[in-house]
């Protein structure tokens, strides 16, 4: 795996492979007072699109924090750790409700985590337009 920094649209094979493994991740957003809100999530990474995706409930705090940032999006980071290996993706997050885009996020989640997410009519997708990446193997 590469040592940081990493081009989020052109990661090396080891970095990409790490993002294909089954790992619980964290999503860091900012509360209105500027303090960090860090929660466990499943993340999928599509370097060819320059995107990371998270499925979420539309009533969650993470979704509220992103929506509060406005249409330009919210600065966020997603991270995963496995012993000494770690990888972080950063970018601008927006909440999407389009059924096709939410279904794509669900499909990618099922592919990475080996199970389809349970049905949730309140599901949305968080799409993160990647601006930077880093990691260490």
Mean pLDDT of 75-92: 97
pLDDT score recorded for residue 136 = 86
Q: From the DSSP assignment, how many helices (H) and strands (E) are in the chain?
A: 3, 7
Residue 77 in contact with residue 29, Cβ under 8 Å? no
For residue 1, the surrounding DSSP H or E stretch is none
pLDDT band at 1 (very low <50, low <70, confident <90, very high): low
pLDDT score recorded for residue 4 = 83
pLDDT score recorded for residue 3 = 64
């Amino acid at each position: 795996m590469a040592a940081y920094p990493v081009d989020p649209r052109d990661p090396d094979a080891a970095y990409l492979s790490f993002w294909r493994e089954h790992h619980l991740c964290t999503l860091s957003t900012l509360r209105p007072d500027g303090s960090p809100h860090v929660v466990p999530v499943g993340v999928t990474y599509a370097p060819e699109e320059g995107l990371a995706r998270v499925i979420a409930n539309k009533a969650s705090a993470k979704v509220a924090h992103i929506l509060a940032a406005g249409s330009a999006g919210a600065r966020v980071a997603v991270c995963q750790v496995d012993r000494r290996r770690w990888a972080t993706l950063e970018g601008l997050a927006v909440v999407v409700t389009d059924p096709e885009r939410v279904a794509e996020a669900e499909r990618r989640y099922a592919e990475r985590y080996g199970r389809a997410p349970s049905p949730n009519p309140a599901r949305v997708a968080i799409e993160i337009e990647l601006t930077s990446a880093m990691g260490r193997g």
